[in-house]
Amino acid sequence: MENNKQVTAVEWLVNEFNKERLIDLNQKTTMYLIVQQAKAMEKEQIENAYGDGLNAHRTNFCNREEYYNKTYKSK
């Protein structure tokens, strides 16, 4: 059976750091805690984007770039 799971950006970054042995993700390190927080934030952002997409017909619709800029870009 084929695995169709996608890798999030945070997971990809951690995997790349692990390949190069740039970080130690021992559960006692600060980096481990930072990665766990980043994964939680990314999960919430993905869930919110999905919900926003479902509700787009009831709100002011915008394109992907406008959505990103309104949601994540600093002013």
Would you say residue 1 lies in a domain? no
Number of domains in the chain: 1
Would you say residue 2 lies in a domain? no
Would you say residue 3 lies in a domain? no
Contacts of the segment 4-10: beta carbons below 8 A, 24+ positions apart: 8/39, 8/42, 8/43, 8/46, 9/42, 10/35, 10/38, 10/39, 10/42
- Confirm if 61 and 55 have CB atoms less than 8 A apart: no
The pTM score is: 0.64
pLDDT number for residue 12: 93
pLDDT number for residue 32: 84
Q: Residues 39-62: what's their mean pLDDT?
A: 79
pLDDT number for residue 39: 93
**Residue type (1 letter), 47:** E
Range of the domain at 22: 9-72
Would you say residue 42 lies in a domain? yes
More confident position, 18 or 25:
18
pLDDT number for residue 43: 92
pLDDT number for residue 71: 77
Would you say residue 44 lies in a domain? yes
Would you say residue 62 lies in a domain? yes
pLDDT number for residue 57: 61
